[in-house]
Amino acid sequence: MTKFRLVVVAAGIFWAVSAAYIPFPTAQAAEGAVGAGDTAAPSPADQISPAPQKPVGAVVPKKNKKKKASARRKASRKASAEAIGTAPGKRLSSAEVMALLKTSRDLSGKNLSGINLVGVNLSKCNLKGVDLSNADLERADLGESDLERANLAGANLKMANLRLSGMIGANLENAILDGAIWQDGRICAKGSLGMCREAVSPDSAK
């Protein structure tokens, strides 16, 4: 009996030891499932889309270049015109006046004495207080311009257009007005000096 008991005890110990080393399928399956989950595709939140890259050596369209060049030219002309107008009392040349007229119709208070503006379009200009004494304005268009308090003493206004111009307080002393179109549309007769003399209508002049 003693030997039998020893055999039974030994068998029990052997079984217990063997059972400790037997792998459990359930645990392995669970670990396998976890491992499979680790290799699953990343979620959309984890995916980072690459930043768009600008093409190397991109060519600027010609239209944009032309627009930029045109804007620079306009800015340059405007700056030049403003620089011309900032000098108080400075006598302007014909070229400077033409540059100003490209960006503005305001010549008020400017010194244009003795200037040559033959045939120049000065219609609808602001010429308040402008000095045009002894200026050559033959055939110039001054229609609808504001010549209030303008100095036109000794100016040559032969055949100039003064139709609908404002001339309140303007100085026309010794201004030559032969053939000029007066404010009301009449044509000044030959020999008009300082004022429109013997004004006649265009129909009568024929």
Identify the pLDDT of residue 49. Answer: 56
Question: Rounded to whole angstroms, how far apart are CA atoms 202 and 206?
Answer: 7
- 1-54 pLDDT tens trace: 566 666 666 767 766 656 555 554 544 444 554 444 445 555 555 555 555 565
The proportion of the chain whose per-residue pLDDT surpasses 90, expressed as a percent, equals 51
Question: For residues 172 and 199, what is the distance between their CA atoms, to the nearest angstrom?
Answer: 16
- pTM for the model stands at 0.56
Across all residues in the chain, what is the average pLDDT? Answer: 77
